[in-house]
Amino acid sequence: MLLKQFTLLCFILIIAGCGNFNVKTSLAQSQTSYSDSIVQAIDISTDGRYTILSDQKGVCVWDNKTNQKLYACIPLDSSKPREMLGIADNNAVFFTSNRIQVDLYNLKTGQQLGSWSTGHNIIGDLTISADGKLIALGYKTGSASIIDIDKNKVNTFKIHRLDINSIALTKAENIVISGSSDKFVKVWRTDTGEVLQSVKLPTRVNHVDISPDGKLGLAIDALGERMLFNSENGEELASLQINARFLEINDSVFSKDNKWLLTGSPNRKARLWQVSDGQLMAEWETYKKAGRDRASVLAVSFFAGNKAITNTSDGMQQVWPIPKFD
């Protein structure tokens, strides 16, 4: 009888995560508002030092150590909002994009360094290499381009049949992972476009990521697949464990030792996963400004080894201590 009652209770509370009894949380250690308006795009540097965001004022770069802007926000044409942006791991440059053009800037000065048009191709997602020398673009056509910044050269490859929805680049620079509406995740080379691995999921792939060393991949589809896999042979290693039918992810990052995965989702949730078995270890609910219907976690990063940083569509940045695990 008690077993039946427990099972019924779990069924009723399933969306609340019944069964994840060991999931930990913590209060935000600090929070800082970087915008009064809804943010169109935001990114955090890998070391957590800088935050870049695009809102009605333009593109603004913040030093998280001092909570000050590095310089005046870069004004933008309001008819061409910057929906995507990112910081290279070396903190030297950042890019912005309105999906038909990519602009590169010096992070410390705001000086524009280059600009590339995609012609008739619409960008589904893009990313930059750790040293800021390569930019990978995934298009709605299924093709992808690699911009060699030093040579000002663009190579385009046909990788997928349908839209590329997500793309990631390793620190080794020569390996890309892309996810498409054709249901495939593909691992390929930046120099030749050669596909090294091809993994098919049940439905369209909405989000992919790859570890800094290029050995681990993450793929999330539109239904229930949330797979961690070996990017060198395509073998599934684990599945992210959560009692939710759908798992939407805006941003993700692997820890340097490949032990942890940090994710940010549209429902104000930031989560920490154990890579070895996909177990959900910690969860945080981010701040939502009064009067707003919702807040989405757009960017996440590890900081100082034992902290997580989140940024939301409300322009709110919060720092979370990562709980200790036995």
pLDDT in tens, 3-38: 444 444 344 344 444 445 589 999 999 999 999 888
* Residue environment code for 257-294, b if the CB has 16+ CB neighbours within 10 A, otherwise e: eeebbbbbbeebbbbbbbbeebbbbbbbebebeeeeee
Average pLDDT over residues 275-279: 97
Q: How far apart are CA 112 and CA 132, in angstroms?
A: 14
3-class state of residue 164 by DSSP:
strand
203 within 8 A of 223, measured Cβ to Cβ: yes
Per residue in 106-129, pLDDT tens?
Answer: 999 999 999 999 998 999 999 999
309 within 8 A of 300, measured Cβ to Cβ: yes
Percent of the chain with pLDDT over 70: 92
Percent of the chain with pLDDT over 90: 79
Q: How far apart are CA 283 and CA 263, in angstroms?
A: 10
In this prediction, residue 56 has a pLDDT band, given cuts at 50, 70 and 90, of: confident
In this prediction, residue 280 has a pLDDT band, given cuts at 50, 70 and 90, of: very high
Is the pLDDT score of 140 beyond 90?
A: yes
Q: For position 21, what pLDDT does the model report?
A: 55
Which domains, and CATH codes, for the chain?
44-321 (2.130.10.10)
Q: How far apart are CA 33 and CA 80, in angstroms?
A: 24
Average pLDDT over residues 57-61: 93
Q: How far apart are CA 135 and CA 105, in angstroms?
A: 13
Q: For position 266, what pLDDT does the model report?
A: 92
Q: For position 181, what pLDDT does the model report?
A: 98
Between 174 and 155, the more confident residue is 155
Is the pLDDT score of 162 beyond 90?
A: yes
In this prediction, residue 171 has a pLDDT band, given cuts at 50, 70 and 90, of: confident
